Chain A
């Protein structure tokens, strides 16, 4: 037995080391993905018998106005969330100096990312409050009428996205600060000797060197935008009249809420969300694969 181990240990060791982690991951993540796809073909209240309905849930989605609202909002999230990347770069450039106390400034600017989105959501609900919120105080200062952003169908999603941009910008900022730390100073000096400066220097010399940071920032921002759930749930609960729903939230609402426990229908929404995300996941894996092969 001992000899068998000694001779074969290089083949056995990986199995041994992988087993516990892989087992947990397969049980809790991999298998549920397939189960969800399967459940999306059933009508099920979560307790009773499942009834096979084929693609009926998906057919119903096609006619569901709330589903289109959610998709539309997801697209708005996706597009506007990307603003966190240039905004993060801007803040990083502003803070990339060596004055006294700058390290404290950098950490304090990073703060919004460390705190929970629940707290961010509460803070911003209050910021937008039509009677007391600072937002309306500012509007009032400029002579505008108060606006109940979170109760306004046309504005609510934008209001929530701005709340989301706050921590996300902090995240992108830290990525760029790290990236800026590593730019090649000789290249910059050389470019400066050639009289490159300002935006031109940034665009042609700095940004290409920041590409790894930009890539990570894009990945986390896209995933973050598509995962948006916490803020919607805290700030508006999907309202008013469902106008701030996103897919992640709508799915939750269908599966576990007073609207009834429609697990199958919820699962179908989740499958659509996964399909959208797969575009990015596959892209990310493809890039990783190329890096691994060293192309």
Chain B
């Protein structure tokens, strides 16, 4: 493994081509690492040095509840996104390329529309007097409007819709790499379609599921607009709480502490996933 590639053109043990990564590293260092360190410092110095912000954070039932709720919402959104995205990704993987690129285009297109616009559109659809409830009541299917907004259902619907492309894209890559002959072989050996899915397709697609799932989960953790507009106060997520703490209450120390804890937990989850699935396979899906 340590053969030609590392010897050729490497400087001080760095792989070839490291130099061209410098601008990106600089960017990340300046605009990510530095602010994160500043955040950490603020959380232990504002308004005075010490751990009082962290004590306040974990001592407050509100923050703990909002933390738990944030992880609950992110988990539900990730699970539903995987379920919805899998069939689409599979369809894309086995479609003729010409047709596939059209469907692909439609999926990507949704990402080009403003997030706020899309979320407001969901409000119009989901509210009690909205299109969905009116149609269902008009058809006599329901007599009372369904509570589709200002609760977990609303947040889940709105966020799954936004997260779908981030799940579909890595999944298609993984599924395309699977040799269709393996499924045919399974069928020839007498496996039912479900058995073939469960024992062949699903295990082989796991790296893609894991990569997409992690991306969706992490993005969901920090989401602001959609939960704020489609959720109720009992589903308040951390980003909204932090914004309120910083902007309105001007308690920057507490806000920084909350943001830092979220960051640490997210990174820990990422590390655990790397352990379970392996960095190579996780990355390999994309």
A and B co-occur in one complex = no
